[in-house]
Amino acid sequence: MIPIILDMDPGIDDAVALSIALSNPSIDIKLLTSVAGNVGVDKTTNNLLKLTTFFHQTQIPVAKGAAAPLKKDFSDAAYIHGESGMPGYDFPQVTKEAIKLDAVTAMAEELEAAIVPMTIVATGSYTNIAMLIQKYPSLLHKIEKFVLMGGSLSGGNVSSVAEFNVFTDPDAADIVFKSGVPIVMIGLDVTLKALLPFETIDAIGSQGEAGEMLQKVMTAYGDTAEGGKPMHDVNTICYLLNPEFYTVKDYWVDIIVSGPAAGATIADTQNRWSEGRLNAQVAVDIDTTAFEKWFVEQVPKMNQYRKEGN
């Protein structure tokens, strides 16, 4: 099993990613942490609790994280994800609360107790992770790598150059990319290719309770491309389990933190200023057929997992 800390801002594509992770026997989620992003942090925290309840995984601790970026004003994406962040499905009553520790403290305690280095997967802004790096630098050796949904080498989705997660808190992203911890950056270069066709989404709805839930929340998702819907955050979990689906290249990546290009992720693809240094493996292509097939195969696994009452 792959031990991970999962830092999220659900958000519909986060919810789909978490649904797969919660019901996959190869992934051991040690801690779930929330951050403000797609909607405010109270809502993202509640959405984590909804999903752990739905999948009978209430033993996984959920810790509430940052309510705002490090420096800039917070602006959500409720126009894409709905006011609650997970509209479209009537989730069961939440049966637990977030733990009393804040996300950064909870992350630090989990890392300190870890026997082997852990992977931190982040599908929202990187505010919690940046605060962890700043407050607990002595624990960085306990982090095997960051797997980040975010960034783009080919243009943005909230500006001409910036992807949402990095744009939300570019100062945090700058800290993370300069941390020295190995990074896998899974950005728009691949997530906009990893579309789920509309007919596939419709078909999932008839595949048990998990399929019905996924179909309803994905249908409510405002992010639509020609031919389907991009499940951006799902790619982090897919990469953990199937790295062979992705083509990655090693680059030095800088973060623009202010001005009209704020949130841009600039890779030194021509080795002009990085002097041979590398700080990220950047996903630049994906086997889209394999991704869709893998995704569809997860739905019956989710239903079986819920049926067995895990």
Q: How far apart are CA 56 and CA 51, in angstroms?
A: 8
Read out DSSP for the chain?
A: -EEEEEEE--SHHHHHHHHHHHT-TTEEEEEEEE-SSSS-HHHHHHHHHHHHHHTT-TTS-EE---SS-SSSPP---HHHH-SSSSTTS-PPPP-----SS-HHHHHHHHHHH-SS-EEEEE-S-SHHHHHHHHH-GGGGGGEEEEEEE---SS--SSSSSB-HHHHH-HHHHHHHHTS-S-EEEE-HHHHTT-EEEHHHHHHHTTSHHHHHHHHHHHHT----BTTEEE-TTHHHHHHHH-GGGEEEEEE-EEE--SSTTTTBEEE-TT-SSSTT---EEEEEEE-HHHHHHHHHHHHHHHHHHHHTT-
Q: How far apart are CA 62 and CA 207, in angstroms?
A: 28
> Is-catalytic flag, 232?
yes
Q: How far apart are CA 249 and CA 156, in angstroms?
A: 19
Question: Does the N-terminal peptide bond of residue 11 adopt cis geometry, omega within 30 degrees of 0?
Answer: yes
Q: Which residues of 25-44 are buried (b: 16+ CB within 10 A; e: fewer)?
A: eebebbbbbbbbbbbbbebb
Which are the catalytic amino acids? 232
